[in-house]
Amino acid sequence: MEGMKFPKRYVIVVLTFLCTNVFYIERMGFSVAYTAAANSIGINQSSKGLILSTFYYGYVLSQIPGGWAAQRFGGRRILLLSFLTWSSICALVPLNPNKVVVLVISRLLVGAAQGFIFPSIHTILAQWIPPHERSRSVSLTTSGMYLGAAAAMLLLPGLIKLQGPQSIFYVEAALGFTWCILWLKFASDPSNSYHPKATALPIKEKGNLQHLSKIPWTRMMCSLPVWAIVVNNFTFHYALYVLMNWLPTYFELGLQLSLQEMGSSKMLPYLNMFIFSNVGGVVADHLITRRILSVTKTRKLLNTVGFVVSAFALFCLPLFKTSAGTVLCSSVSLGFLALGRAGFAVNHLDIAPGYAGIVMGVSNTAGTLAGIIGVGITGRILEIANINDRHLSSPESWKPVFFIPGYLCIFSSVIFLMFSRGERIFD
């Protein structure tokens, strides 16, 4: 990378892109590997749900501490520690579905470790990236998640068939440790931060300790622009996690289709997210740097277009009776949600460049809670449908599943239009 003579900030963005790619391979990979191992010995659905959901409890609890730690010790160090922790757990923990306690503890720890990732990344990008490059940099970095999810869905089932479920853990650990080596070799703290308070704060400097004690928690919690970000982060993840977790069930029960027969088409929604996330970042930076629109209007435009189009795609989804129509609607919905990230997700760096990791920790806590709530509510909706003798093969039973996130998208876009701001609020 050094020989290519790219500006160092581009190297940082590429490394953070690889970071989100790798840790989403781990997240999706565990679900694929554990489900295969559990099914092979007849583990019931309740026990599988316990193990699969444990990750999110660790993840939600570490978001705000992750933002504080990145602010206190530097995002570069905390990100490395996070990767070393979860990679070590993957390398050491046996994938034995009968060892419930071991798996619960390990997934809690992996979730807690990975909860530090996004607050650290936002702290790092606030240091390295100038304002006119923030949209495409954040969009590229976060798009690694979707590419990782697509790669996991395509490649890992075949690896399990050849080498068994435990092999997934070893591959994930190897990828994590490889990324750590690259990060150690090529990452550094900037000599001149684009916001001075975004840098790590040395322990012994009295003035910096004074600054730490003055993190504006109360102002942040009472800020309507912050809450506009939080509400949209909640909705984004509600829709994303519901589709990620329940769309396969809809294919199998609602449309009577086998996932194996669908081949690579089940990757398309995630590939669409990767494409649209980067398109949104490039468009946003173009509108801002060419002074076509202000930062505030750019964020509101992309957020509104992304969420409103996504909502209408969700409303249309249960109307289709074919796999092609369902894949099209889910791809449009998730793609435009990703486009909307050039609105709310980059807005952390606009309003609070010095505290981007902390604001991200707050909003991502809401996003993780949305996943827990959305997946749970959806299960309850489908359970009630079964009790009322409305078979899950009927599209009517599935309308609330897709309509709820659709209505949330409309509501969130209105909130963002009303209360978001593009200028710096917290110094």
Q: What is the pLDDT of residues 305-347, one digit of tens each?
A: 999 999 999 999 988 877 788 889 999 999 999 999 999 999 9
Counting as low any pLDDT under 50, the low residues of the chain are 1-3, 199-213
What is the distance between the alpha carbons of residues 243 and 332, in angstroms, rounded to a whole number?
Answer: 12
What is the distance between the alpha carbons of residues 386 and 369, in angstroms, rounded to a whole number?
Answer: 26
Note the pLDDT of residue 298.
96
Nearest to 47 by CA among 34, 60, 56: 34
- In eight-state DSSP terms, residue 253 is I
What is the distance between the alpha carbons of residues 138 and 126, in angstroms, rounded to a whole number?
Answer: 10
Contact 246, 383 (CB under 8 A): no
Helices 63-73, 75-92: inter-axial angle, 10-degree rounding:
130
Helices 395-419, 224-249: inter-axial angle, 10-degree rounding:
160
Nearest to 233 by CA among 143, 337, 336: 337
Amino acid of residue 107: R
Contact 326, 255 (CB under 8 A): yes
Residue 91, token pair as written in the block = 């390398």
The neighbour count for residue 176, using CB atoms within 10 Å, is 24
Note the pLDDT of residue 5.
64
Nearest to 406 by CA among 249, 274, 236: 236
**Gyration radius of the chain's alpha carbons:** 21
The length of the chain in residues reads 427
- For each of the domains in the chain, give its residue range(s) and CATH number, in order of start: 1-188 (1.20.1250.20), 216-427 (1.20.1250.20)
Contact 413, 406 (CB under 8 A): no
Contact 283, 302 (CB under 8 A): yes
φ and ψ at 280, to 5 degrees?
-60, -40
Contact 194, 123 (CB under 8 A): no
In order, the DSSP letters of 12-70 are: HHHHHHHHHHHHHHHHHHHHHHHHHHHHHTT--HHHHHHHHHHHHHHHHHTHHHHHHHH
The neighbour count for residue 286, using CB atoms within 10 Å, is 15
What is the distance between the alpha carbons of residues 68 and 195, in angstroms, rounded to a whole number?
Answer: 17
Note the pLDDT of residue 310.
97
What is the distance between the alpha carbons of residues 313 and 162, in angstroms, rounded to a whole number?
Answer: 38
Continuous segment of H or E residues that includes residue 97: none
Contact 308, 246 (CB under 8 A): no
